[in-house]
Amino acid sequence: MTHRGLSASDIRKRNRFGLLSLVHRNGAIARNDLASSIGLTRASVTILVGELLEEGLIVEAGSSGGNGKAGRRKIFLRIRNEAGKLLGVGIDQERIQVLVSDLGGTVLGVRNISLPKVPRGAEPGTVFAKAAAVAVGELLGGEGAAAAGVLGAGVGVTGRVDPDSGLSLREPRLWEGTVPIREPFEAALGVPVSVNNNVRALSVAELLLTDMKKSPPAGLLLVKYGPGVGAAWTPGGLPWSGAHNRAGELGHTFVAADGPPCPYCGRRGCLESLVSAQALGLALSMQGSTVETLCAALSVRDPEAFALLASHFARALGNAIELCDPSVVTLYGSAFRDSALFSEVARRVEANDRPCEIKRSSLDPEFPALGGVALALERFFQGGGTIGK
């Protein structure tokens, strides 16, 4: 949209977005500092702040100074996290997770449900949405989402996803062909729904819901392990989907000359064919176990194979770092909480003298649906903090 094409309502929405984002990122910010930080006049900021205070989206959060001639009294503002709720949904081949949070991303309730059986001829998106809506109803005490103060929902789903159309384009581990996600979830939940690939959704959560929000990195590469391997690259704070919504398939880059056939890409030697829960489960005769259990077992039973796994991971990660040049890499998943795997992978990548920080994700791997919460929060802010599409 050109600047000339912006309506007064678009400008108001954009200014509210800027202000809400700034207050959210800072946790608390002095009212006097807002105008200079977002490039608006003091008068405009006064009007916007007045509106947001009246709507209860922000509150005054104490003051400092003002005693004597040395400086003006500062009144701080923060987001009123209890002003609304957000719904996050995480779908992978193991489960659906449904989560309710406040506007600050604090988890208020969570349900993990097994994947529903899709009857012949039924739309998988509709079946999954209805199953999620039942769990949401339980979490909200039987109230509808909108009536319970839910401002929006986000769905993170594995595989290839088009966030604009809200379609799952390809996820053979869950369903066949293209499957609408946003439409059936909006119908089942009755609130606006954003959809993205689950790892891209988690990268938004890392940027919006952890301490990283205070000083967002120029480029974040988030890598998720378990049950497969996925990555999300967020140059300038926005997840890059790629020209065909297939960016970030780190698990299907080659790391070995041979290996078992990969059920997702069909080739041999990709990272997932060697380190996925399925591949490790087969190798260790422990099918159905999580990658963290499998990695722990492997490190005890076969330290050499464990070292090889870390090398395969580090090789793929090293290639991704060369390609993207991130300032920060975060490794997400319960397996990386185990210091052995994290340090073995990080050590091998760092041995190549790459100038970026590699650390564990600050997101709790027990709550993958926080990715959905972050998508919903981002949309809510982008809409200027108003409910609607």
Where do contacts with Zn ion occur on this chain (CB under 5 A)?
A: 252, 262, 264-265, 270, 272
- What's the order of all strands across the beta sheet hosting 160-162? 160-162, 167-170, 179-180
**Within its chain, how far is the Cα of 343 from the centroid?**
24
Identify the residue whose tokens are 């509709």. 126
- Distance, CA of 179 to CA of 288 (rounded, Å): 26
Identify the residue whose tokens are 């959210």. 24
Listed residue (45, 44, 48) closest to 57, CA to CA: 48
Of 199 and 376, CB closest to Zn ion: 199
Listed residue (304, 223, 312) closest to 270, CA to CA: 312
| Nearest distance in Å: CB 278, Zn ion | 11
Do you find a cis peptide bond into 163, omega within 30 degrees of 0?
no
Of 250 and 329, CB closest to Zn ion: 250
| Nearest distance in Å: CB 167, Zn ion | 22
- Distance, CA of 229 to CA of 223 (rounded, Å): 7
| Nearest distance in Å: CB 358, Zn ion | 23
Of 281 and 385, CB closest to Zn ion: 281
Of 65 and 242, CB closest to Zn ion: 242
Q: One-letter amino acid identity for 4? A: R
| Nearest distance in Å: CB 266, Zn ion | 7
The DSSP result for 155-182, as a single string, is EEESSEEETTTTEEEE-TTT-SS-EE-H
| Nearest distance in Å: CB 252, Zn ion | 4
Of 265 and 340, CB closest to Zn ion: 265
Of 184 and 259, CB closest to Zn ion: 259
| Nearest distance in Å: CB 229, Zn ion | 9
Which residue has the closest beta carbon to Zn ion?
262
- Distance, CA of 167 to CA of 178 (rounded, Å): 7
